């Protein structure tokens, strides 16, 4: 059975975490000057995505302690649909190197939070 982390990464099109690290350069932290380089649409997307991510982390935590929680399952399904809706916009934004680096840092935060 796949881990929650792997399922999450596949959901976002980041199969097995392959795109989390670009070449040999590992992204360590978010540079504030890089954040300023994002266009308003990218900033707005990251705000929505980070909100979604916090909700998703909570659902995963509940699932770990209460796997039979029906309401939590419903929330997870809704969040999964929301993640699917992110894909086209995410694919477009990932073409920008600055955005891609910031997004990778966000994903790394998520992978640390989600139980393996």
Write down the domain spans for the chain: 1-11+46-116
Mean pLDDT of 55-78: 94
Q: Can you give the pTM of this predicted structure?
A: 0.69
Burial class (CB in 10 A: 0-12, 13-18, 19+), 11: middle
**Per-residue pLDDT at 18:** 32
**Is the model's pLDDT at 22 over the cut of 60?**
no
- Provide mean pLDDT across the span 59-83: 94
In the predicted structure, residue 55 carries a pLDDT above the cut 80? yes
Query: For residue 37, what pLDDT is reported?
Result: 87
Average pLDDT, the chain: 77
Tell which residue, 5, 34, 2, has the closest CA to residue 20: 5
Query: In this prediction, what percent of the chain has a pLDDT beyond 90?
Result: 45
For 90, residues 6+ apart whose C-beta sits below 8 A from its C-beta are 12, 13, 45, 49, 103
Question: What would the two tokens of residue 28 be?
Answer: 């360590």
Helix ranges, 12-114 (H):
32-37, 40-65, 70-93, 97-113
Q: Could you identify the residue written with the tokens 């990932």?
A: 94
Question: What pLDDT, on the 0 to 100 scale, is given for residue 31?
Answer: 66
For 40, the token pair is 């308003």
């Amino acid at each position: 059975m796949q881990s929650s982390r792997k399922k999450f990464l596949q959901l976002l099109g980041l199969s097995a975490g392959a795109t989390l690290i670009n070449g040999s350069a590992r992204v360590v932290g978010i540079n504030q000057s890089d954040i300023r380089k994002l266009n308003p649409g990218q900033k707005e997307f990251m705000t929505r995505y980070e909100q979604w991510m916090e909700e998703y982390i909570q659902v995963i935590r509940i699932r770990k302690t209460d796997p039979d929680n029906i309401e939590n399952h419903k929330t997870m399904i809704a969040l999964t649909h929301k993640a699917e809706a992110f894909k086209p916009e995410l694919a477009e934004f990932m073409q920008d190197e600055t955005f891609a680096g910031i997004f990778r840092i966000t994903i790394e935060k998520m992978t640390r939070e989600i139980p393996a």
